[in-house]
Amino acid sequence: MPDKSQPKEHTLSTGYAYYLFTLLFLLYFFNYIDRVIVTSLFPFIQKEYGISDTQAGTLVSVVYWSIVLCTVPASILVDRWSRKKTIGLMALFWSIATGVCAFTRTFPQLILARTAIGIGEAGFAPGGTAMLSGLFPAEKRSRMMGFWNISIPLGSAVGIAIGGVVAERYGWRHAFGLVAAPGAIAAILFFFVKDYKTVELVKTSGSTGPQPDKVKMSKMDIVREFIHTPSLILTNIAFIGCIFVNNAVLTWLPTYFHRLEGIPMSEAGMKTGSIMLLAIVGLPLGGWLADVWFNKNVRARLLFPAITTALNTIVVFCAFFFFKGRALYGILLLMGMVSSAFAPAAITATQEVIHAGLRAISYAVCVIIQNLFGAAMAPIVLGMVSDAYGIKAAMSILPLFLLFSTAFFLAGSFFYEKDLNKVEKIELEFED
């Protein structure tokens, strides 16, 4: 059996740990409201600016492109400077950028404002993931990641639902203005929390004895942490297909319902929101099941994502090939739950097989890969297929991406135990 002993990483009181969790949850919630609200505003923006589906998809993709460009610098600040200060500043920035969207008067201006949202959001997921990994022990990590990531479907559902309703009644600009302020308030609160101290980048030397010497890691040591960890590399690649599909559904399902079911965009947004909302079941359930299995079999960290992604492949294939109307909506509700179940264990994997001083950067690398090839590509790729062949054909290609992810999660599971055992054991210290 592998060595699952963990250094002491949660010296704060339980109550304070959950207070930090709550603030991180709220920030992620507002993060996704600000990120996805634009999807239910597509028809209104397209009517005003005369843009195509491909151009509309760009309003989502530019957020992910700017995240890709800025996530590593932001994550270096998180790991090497301060988690709370970096996260607080980023949250203020993306909230202000969301408010600026309400005052744009041209499509290029709106593109620039959406780009700024991505710059602000660039380091939040890595920073928050690193903080949670330090707050909670290994046997609870996947389930806490699951609970934290509930904020994504909640924020997405609220953003999509609010966007369509507010746009129909008051205009699409008011939707941006409405959601900008709450995130800024949560960001200010975050400046006053306690955080764990910056982790020194040291490793155990080759010396023997009861207390082996620690030496400073070189740049090549840091590089080796990433390129000599097969399970981490395969996990990062596996994220691509899952995130591509989830973002494709998030972006284009309202339009799919609107065009093929003939329902108003406000109702289409509500239906999509209800589907995405079911991740509040899939995420914590997936995290809990993954933790239970992990305590019996370390490979479960990646075997569980492989199994749930394979199941999602079947569900998505059936949904867009065989069903319509109420039956389509019913099976998409199942997809809303299953599609998120992979995430808690997979995210935890990016934290457990890497040096504790590199956790934010580790998830930043994952964010770059999943956003560059998954989240950022999905809106545009499906928009292009939709422009050429129709929205139904666009949604029908999604199972292929899930098959891709299933294969890579499965491959990564064969290396996980060895990679986990070689990780440097570090004891975290919190601020006074």
Domains of the chain, first to last: 14-195+212-421 (1.20.1250.20)
Q: Please answer whether residues 431 and 194 qualify as being in contact, where contact means their C-beta atoms are separated by less than 8 angstroms.
A: yes
3-state secondary structure of 52: coil
- pLDDT for the residue numbered 6: 47
- pLDDT for the residue numbered 240: 97
C-alpha to C-alpha distance for 354 and 362, rounded to whole angstroms: 7
Which residues on adjacent β-strands are paired with residue 430?
A: 196
- pLDDT for the residue numbered 12: 65
Helices 42-49, 107-121: axis angle to 10 degrees equals 140
Query: pTM of this prediction?
Result: 0.78
Six-digit token string for 401: 């991406």
C-alpha to C-alpha distance for 216 and 335, rounded to whole angstroms: 47
C-alpha to C-alpha distance for 242 and 132, rounded to whole angstroms: 22
Other CB atoms within 10 Å distance of the CB of residue 181: 12
Regions in the chain scoring below 50 on pLDDT = 1-2, 4-10
Other CB atoms within 10 Å distance of the CB of residue 285: 18
- pLDDT for the residue numbered 90: 92
DSSP state of 216: E
C-alpha to C-alpha distance for 245 and 357, rounded to whole angstroms: 32
- pLDDT for the residue numbered 211: 62
C-alpha to C-alpha distance for 258 and 239, rounded to whole angstroms: 29
- pLDDT for the residue numbered 78: 83
Ordered alpha helix ranges (H), 40-82? 42-49, 53-80
Instruction: Enumerate residues 6+ apart whose C-beta is below 8 A from 206.
Output: none
Residue with tokens 């990433």: 226
C-alpha to C-alpha distance for 424 and 203, rounded to whole angstroms: 6
